[in-house]
Copies of this chain bind each other. A is one copy, B any other.
Amino acid sequence: METKYPLSAANEDYLEAIFELRDEQGATRSVDLAEHLQVSKASVNKAVGILREAGLVEQEPYGAIRLTQTGQERAAEIFRRHTRIKRFLVEILGIDEETAEQDACRMEHVISTVTRDHLYKYLREVLE
């Protein structure tokens, strides 16, 4: 299968949103993704196709989207990165929730794993 396929920032966003918008059965609808990410249904359809090819989600035609095991892990990691960056912005730099959310959305795609880990460590130390 696919071990560590790199995802584009856009596709990381789709994966993360699928993770966030799951219902009790773990299903996510395309239309909700489109709404959440403010893109067209067509864009969602294409992106989900890519995530499917990459083995990160499953979806039968006209059906709901579900994360695979790998997809789930990958998405959770992205989500964790996002929330920690946001925490840093809010709790350390004192930035408002709204701005922090938007900035975290973009920063999560550009920091290296080295910086990510140092940031986590810093958060643990400073917020004990």
Residues of A within 8 A of B (CB): 89, 92-96, 99-100, 102-103, 106-107, 109-112, 114-115, 118-119, 122
Total identical chains? 2
Interface of A is mostly: helix
A109–chain B nearest beta-carbon distance, Å: 8
Report yes or no: B112 in contact with A102, Cβ–Cβ below 8 A.
yes
Q: In whole angstroms, how far apart are the Cα atoms of A89 and B110 in the complex? A: 13
Highest count of chain B CB atoms <10 Å: which of A94, A100, A110, A118: A110
Report yes or no: B111 in contact with A93, Cβ–Cβ below 8 A.
no
Report yes or no: A89 in contact with B107, Cβ–Cβ below 8 A.
no
Give every chain B residue within 8 A of A103 (Cβ-Cβ). 110-112, 114-115
Give every chain B residue within 8 A of A93 (Cβ-Cβ). 115, 118-119, 122
Q: In whole angstroms, how far apart are the Cα atoms of A106 and B110 in the complex? A: 6
